[in-house]
A = this chain, B = another copy of it.
Amino acid sequence: MPDAPMVLLLACPDAVGIVAAVSGFLSDRDGFIVDSQQYADLETGRFFMRVAFVASGPRFPATIEALRADFERVGARFGMDWSLADGSLPRVVIAVSKMGHCLNDLLHRWSIGALPVEIVGVVSNHEDMRRLTEWHGLPFCYLPVTTATREAQEAVIAEMMADADFLVLARYMQVLSPELSAVLAGRCINIHHSFLPSFKGAKPYHRAHMLGVKLIGATAHYVTSDLDEGPIIEQDVARVDHRASVDDMIAIGRDVEAQVLARAVTWQAERRILRNGGKTVVFR
Contact = CB atoms under 8 A, between A and B. Distances in A.
A211 B232 contact: yes
Interface majority SS (helix, strand, loop, mixed), chain A: mixed
Contact of A38 (B27, B35, B112, B254): B35
A49 B241 CA distance: 15
A42 B101 contact: no
A276 interface: yes
Contacts of A24: 20, 23-24
Given A36-B36, A42-B245, A279-B242, A237 B215 contact: yes
Contact of A280 (B104, B242, B281): B242
Contacts of A20: 20, 23-24, 26-28
Nearest to A34: B40
B108 A242 contact: no
Contact of A217 (B34, B56, B215, B233): B215
Interface string A48-77: 000000001100000000000000000000
B251 A114 contact: yes
Interface string A25-43: 0111011111111111010
A57 B17 CA distance: 12
A213 B196 contact: yes
Contacts of A34: 40
Interface in A143-177: none
Interface in A255-284: 255, 259, 276, 278-282, 284
A40 B36 CA distance: 10
Interface in A180-207: 195-199
A43 B198 CA distance: 23
A13 interface: no
Contacts of A243: 39
A35 to B, nearest CB: 7
Nearest to A197: B198
A234 interface: yes
B242 A214 contact: no
Interface of A: 16-17, 19-21, 23-24, 26-28, 30-40, 42, 56-57, 100-101, 104-105, 108, 112, 114, 135, 195-199, 211-215, 217, 231-237, 241-243, 245, 251, 254-255, 259, 276, 278-282, 284
30 contacts: A16-B27, A16-B31, A16-B56, A17-B23, A19-B36, A20-B20, A20-B23, A20-B28, A21-B27, A23-B24, A34-B40, A36-B38, A105-B108, A108-B108, A195-B195, A195-B198, A195-B215, A196-B213, A197-B211, A198-B198, A212-B231, A212-B232, A212-B278, A212-B279, A214-B233, A214-B234, A215-B235, A215-B237, A241-B284, A255-B259
